[in-house]
Amino acid sequence: MKEDGPLELSLFDEQDLAEITSPDFSGERLIACRNPLLAADRARTRQELLAVTEEKLEKLRLRTLRARRPLRGETKIGVEVGKVLGASKVPKHFRYEITSDTFTFQRDQASIAAQAALDGIYVIRTSVSAQALGAPEVVEAYKQLAEVEKAFRIMKSFALEVGPIRHRREERIRGHVFLCMLAHYVRWHMAKALAPMLLTDHDPDGAEARRRSIVGPARRSKAGEAKTRRQRTESGELARSFETLMADLRTLGKHETRVPASKVTFARYTRRAPLQEKAFGLLGVPYRM
């Protein structure tokens, strides 16, 4: 195994990131990551599934022992066992034996231990050279895929309403998607500028400083946590979502008035509320255009 950089680990240290190579993936780099929170969650889920499945199998075993109308027949018992294990999601972790009038089972500890050893571990494959991206940067780039998925959700929702695309010509479809991507790009910059007024974390540097490892989950900054907890901005205003803030800004309007006799046209603008004034200030765009 080729690890990313020299490691000096004591008996109680843990390494959550390592670069490995394999002849099965020639020309590719493999980044093995271990997320302890994910490992704990999978271990807990597995124990819950094992306990529930064991309880159901025990009830089935007792059915073969009851005096009145006991469950008999290797085929019938096998069918019932199959129903339980088929819905359990952990069938490989149980060993059992069926006869014409008995059913016994036990946990397969070796199988459970083998799966537990991989809890929280995932591997990222990449063909990008180490000179272009180090192992931590590869993991960071992989996690940024979540932003791509988020972008598609936003474009499909009422915010931008990409679909359905009612075009048949390729150039029109490309133009439609380009405009939607451009609109999302503008929205992203607006959300970033308006972050102090929104529920989103407005202190990315503070959030990054609290992150112990690139493999671990992202954390909010202390200011972001306080804003989420109080639902208030640092200035004491109600923190909003991007959509509700846009709804407030939509109440602004421009009205053009023309005097017929003099053919003079002048514009009148809706009076801005303090909230709207602050939003335009953060965006850095003039209200009157």
What is the DSSP code string of 211-267? -S-SSSPP---HHHHHHHHHTB-TTSPBPB-HHHHHHHHTT--EEEEEETTTTEEEE
**Would you give the end-to-end CA distance of the chain in angstroms?**
62
Phi, psi torsion values for 230, nearest 5 degrees: -90, -15
* pLDDT at residue 201 tops 60: yes
What pLDDT is recorded for position 60? 94
Whole-structure pTM value: 0.61
Q: What are the pLDDT digits (tens) for 257-278?
A: 888 777 788 888 888 888 888 9
Provide the token pair at 194.
């308006």
pLDDT band at 71 (very low <50, low <70, confident <90, very high): very high
Please list, residue by residue across 186-201, b when 16 or more beta carbons sit within 10 angstroms of its beta carbon and e when fewer do: ebeebeebbbbbbbbb
Mean pLDDT of the chain: 85
Cα four-point dihedral sign 137, 143, 147, 148: positive
What pLDDT is recorded for position 9? 41
Residue among 199, 221, 222 nearest 208 (CA): 221
* pLDDT at residue 46 tops 60: yes
